[in-house]
Structure 1
């Protein structure tokens, strides 16, 4: 396959599928990860509402999902994916394992960002009579926002890598192009083109993330 055929036939739909999987997954996983992180931070021994049992159980669950190799997670979740999406093939079906794989990772990133907030600010807010909800959203989240943006940028780049692996099981996207039309068809040009496109996409996302971080900071 020559470059013109690649650009006109394979690349556009693959890019759309990759962006769709990446950004829908990021949104859903970030929402889930945010609430998981809040619970983990609040229930720590020095948190606003210490609860060792909840913190330990939730921490174990998060760590268990984080430790799963993504390819194994995709296969293990096929029955659940079929139940939720009605199929286990395609970019929409891939959102299920992608979200399950990304949410714990994002949760730990956000947890780390929140936990780094100066404890003096939290104590000051308490002394002014702020409620726990106000402390979480108006102090902790506000102070941690630049770090959270950095973390989510890192997560987006990781999710792009996940979508490439999801392509191996028929999810579509750039990973599927690289495997099906490049590796399996022994077409090194397609492989090289696709890798270059993925690198460019990652670089663009990193630059945008850095700009947003500086703006918020």
Structure 2
């Protein structure tokens, strides 16, 4: 490592970078929790109410699919702005970590729901039919058959969503959402501090790699058990 590079790194405000990293992890962690909480039942409903599935409800399925598709079609930067009134109503501010979480959840939940629906479609129909033949109730069918059988796919969907949330959290810096994205914009872009931009991008890349590797490892473990 050259002396010039060492001097550049030494001159960075690592405390600020550390705080921004923690803020990004907080945004991703909290929003991922709410995304799974909202997106999982939505994905199950999309699967169950489809015309060719267990409890076909054509119009309800179309309504849910339309709502999901509308939100997914909006660029996240636009969604950040559109949801400011709702964010203010829910958390009292549109800035910082708290202000970024509602739009992150709104943007990611429909995306996750579609991944859940796709994972459930991979469940062997024979397994479902066997459970129905044994007299399984709807609740038992969902919690003891569908979700356990689709678990590797659901973990994979959660991993993909977590990686997407890292990207979304960085974009939230455009409206002062906090975290590494905000740091990159305020210092790296507006003040032309290239070294800050490089460090924040590197941290984001490492975070994505860690999430993806961990998720892939867990999917492999669960797949072996199945």
TM superposition score category, shorter chain reference? over 0.9
**2:180 aligned residue:** 174
Pick from 100, 103, 115 the counterpart of residue 109 of structure 2: 103
Q: What is the deviation of 1:48?
A: 2.0
**1:165 aligned residue:** 171
Q: What is the deviation of 1:5?
A: 4.3
- Distance in 1 (CA, whole Å) between partners of 2:82 and 2:43 is 25
| Uncovered stretches (5+) of structure 1, i.e. residues with no partner | none
Q: Is the 8 A contact 1:48 1:132 kept in 2?
A: no
- Distance in 2 (CA, whole Å) between partners of 1:5 and 1:133 is 58
1:90 and 2:96 matched: yes
1:24 and 2:36 matched: no
1:115 and 2:121 matched: yes
- Distance in 2 (CA, whole Å) between partners of 1:5 and 1:166 is 26
**2:208 aligned residue:** 202
Q: Deviations over 1:46-78 (max 9, x none)?
A: 222111011000100000000010000010111
| Uncovered stretches (5+) of structure 2, i.e. residues with no partner | 1-6
Query: Equivalent residue of 2:12, what SS?
Result: helix
- Distance in 1 (CA, whole Å) between partners of 2:117 and 2:156 is 13
> Structure 1-normalised TM-score?
0.97
Pick from 38, 44, 57 the counterpart of residue 63 of structure 2: 57
Aligned length: 217
Query: Equivalent residue of 2:171, what SS?
Result: helix
RMSD: 1.2
**1:75 aligned residue:** 81
> Structure 2-normalised TM-score?
0.93
